Structure 1
Amino acid sequence: MEQILQQILNKLDKLEAGQQKLEAEITSIKKDTELIPLIQQAVSEVNNEVAATSETIQRMDESLKAHEVTLDLLSRRSIDQEAALRKII
């Protein structure tokens, strides 16, 4: 009978140790999950910044294309003016 009680106590000790381990893991998980809203907020802010930067880059690209057209037009005018000057001279 004493041996059976000892076995029961040993099993209870093992169960308590396992329970303490689980409680420690749960506490750790709770700490980790507390950060999730902050991480989500940071990701949202980064996404907004990326979208704004993308729009800025798109506007800059459109502006550069417009400048390229203007430069091409001015270059053609310059060539035409040089040709006209050569005819005069």
Structure 2
Amino acid sequence: MSEKILNKILEKIENVQEEMKEIKKEMKEMNERIENVESTMATKKDVEAIPFIRQAVMDIDERTTRIEKTQEKHERTLDILSRRSIEQEAELRRIK
């Protein structure tokens, strides 16, 4: 074979090697991105827990609503009792 042909073959091989290096670099970058996605995505266990979390949130919401209603009732009762106390105090002052 002539030296020209050998040089062309060698040049082609070098080009292929450069392309392979680029492909390997891109694959490494893709693998890093995939690992990042895998590390941040929800697992099957996480997804299985969603209905339980939803139920817990609903239970907490229901309890919070009950507490709010009870608190409002207590506030009204305290308001009535404080008015009575003021009225009774005024009545006692009138009696004296």
Q: What is the TM-score with the length of structure 1 in the denominator?
A: 0.64
Give aligned pairs, total.
Answer: 86
1:22 match: 26
Deviation, structure 1 residue 81: 0.4
- Structure 2: distance between partners of 1:10 and 1:62: 79
CA-based RMSD: 3.4
In structure 1, the gaps of 5 or more residues are none
Which residue of structure 2 aligns with residue 82 of structure 1?
Answer: 89
TM-score by length of 2: 0.61
Runs of 4+ in 1 over 6 A off after TM superposition: none
Percent same amino acid at aligned positions? Answer: 26
**Aligned residue among 35, 39, 42 for 1:37:** 42
In structure 2, how many angstroms separate the alpha carbons of the residues matched to 1:59 and 1:11? 75
**Unpaired runs of at least 5, structure 2:** none
